Each structure stands twice: as structure tokens, then as C-alpha cells.
Amino acid sequence: MKTRARKAPRAASAPCGGGAGTGSAADFIPPRPSLTRLREAAAHCRGCDLWTCGRVVFGEGPRDATVMFVGEQPGDQEEQARKPFVGPAGGVLDRALAAAGVPRAETFVTNAVKHFKHEQRGKRRLHKTPNAGEVIACRWWLDAERAIVRPRVIVALGATAGLSVFGKPTPIGKFRQQAIQLPDQAQGVITYHPSYLLRLPDRAAKEEAFGKFVEDLKFAGKLAA
């Protein structure tokens, strides 16, 4: 991998997505990476145009976690806390993990894209879905996390995470509850992103989707045991 001397990012006066990225996070991966070195280096990443979107939120969890969860990107609260899955979607993930008997503290939680892509509307920052180019540019960080943690099971939460983890579109309805062998030692699983459950219009639909989500997390937990 190519390396480049780190420069502290300038204060991002450009709007989110208005920075000119290099095209790949590979340019910023440090030599002999550890999770600590990766986290420090990612804070300076300009691998895609999202480097002006606030601060990087890197993955978090034990170095020897057997299960890794990969979401889409941090949200507003995650960017402020610089921690993944601490907002409303994180609350759903926490409840589902508890129902599935999978302790979150024993898992590694991260995102496919490390910056919060958003649109500023007054004081509000509205979520925007990262495009395939941004996912591919950022995938180097996820691959580096995978190489260090070496989880037995990687759970992609939603379609964007599926694209990053499996390298191609992986429809959730078709592939949930299946173990997909990945090129490294891990088995891949895909399920819903918890924010999808939050967007469902009525209580019955939410309860049904939550039940399926818990089933998928149990499936992943058993696969990792």
C-alpha cells in the first residue's frame, strides 16, 4: 500500500462532500497498522470528497472480537460523540443484541464509510446515502480493521455495508440467514440496518422487522460460537 506523510486537515469550510479527495483511503493507511495507529491516521483521511463532512468515526470494540458489525456510516450523534452506533439506530441495535443474547461489549462495531455524509438544512444535518465510489474509496479502512480483528463473523447492516463487505450488491431479502464465505477467514451475514426499522410506518411492521433482525443476530452469534 502507498503511504503518504500525514497532514492535519484544514478546518473544513467547504460543505460536506465539497472537498477534493485523492480517490482512495489507501493513500492514508499507515505502515504496520494497529487499531490505534489506524484510528489516528483515519482522522486525517482525504480519500474521498467526504473529508469535509466533520470528524471521522472509527470502529470500536475489542481487538479479539469474534463478531464485527458494519453499518453504513456514522450519523449526526455518532459524529458528535465520535463513536459508532450511539444514536437512535444504536439504541435499536443494543435492544436487538440484548434480545439475541449477543453482548455488544464483546463485538467490534464499525461502518463502511467513516465520515457522516449529510446535507446542511439550517441547523440540521440530514443524512445522505454514500455512493458506491465513496464506499469503495473508504473500504480500505474496513479491510484494515478486518485484517487486525480477524472476526469469525462479519455482519453487514444494510445494503451499503453489504456492498463494502461483499464487494458487490447483496440483496438482504435473498441472503439473510445465510453464511457467506468471505475471502479471509470470516463468514459474512447480511441483515437490515437498524435505521430501517426506525423508518417503518406502523408498530406492527416495526415489531415484525425487529423480530427478523433479532433472528439474524442470533444466527450470527451462533455462527461465531
Binding site for ligand SF4 (CB under 6 A): 21, 25, 42, 45-48, 50-51, 56, 113-115, 134, 137-138
Q: Which of 12, 35, 38, 13 is nearest to 149 (CA)?
A: 35
Residue with cell 472476526: 151
Shortest reach from residue 91's CB to ligand SF4, in Å: 24
Shortest reach from residue 101's CB to ligand SF4, in Å: 33
3-state secondary structure 166-209: HCCCCCHHHHCCCCEECCCCCEEEEECCHHHHHHCCCHHHHHHH
Closer residue to ligand SF4, CB minimum distance, 51 or 210: 51
Q: Which of 38, 217, 223, 68 is nearest to 149 (CA)?
A: 68
CA–CA separation, 223 and 152 (whole Å): 8
Shortest reach from residue 28's CB to ligand SF4, in Å: 7
Shortest reach from residue 42's CB to ligand SF4, in Å: 6
CA–CA separation, 182 and 72 (whole Å): 19
Closer residue to ligand SF4, CB minimum distance, 144 or 153: 144
Closer residue to ligand SF4, CB minimum distance, 39 or 114: 114
Q: Which of 104, 106, 116 is nearest to 78 (CA)?
A: 116
Chain-centre distance for alpha carbon 152 = 17
Contact, 92 vs 194, CB < 8 A?
yes
Closer residue to ligand SF4, CB minimum distance, 111 or 170: 111
Shortest reach from residue 54's CB to ligand SF4, in Å: 10
Closer residue to ligand SF4, CB minimum distance, 27 or 215: 27
Shortest reach from residue 181's CB to ligand SF4, in Å: 26
| Cell, residue 99 | 434480545
Closer residue to ligand SF4, CB minimum distance, 79 or 216: 79
CA–CA separation, 108 and 111 (whole Å): 10
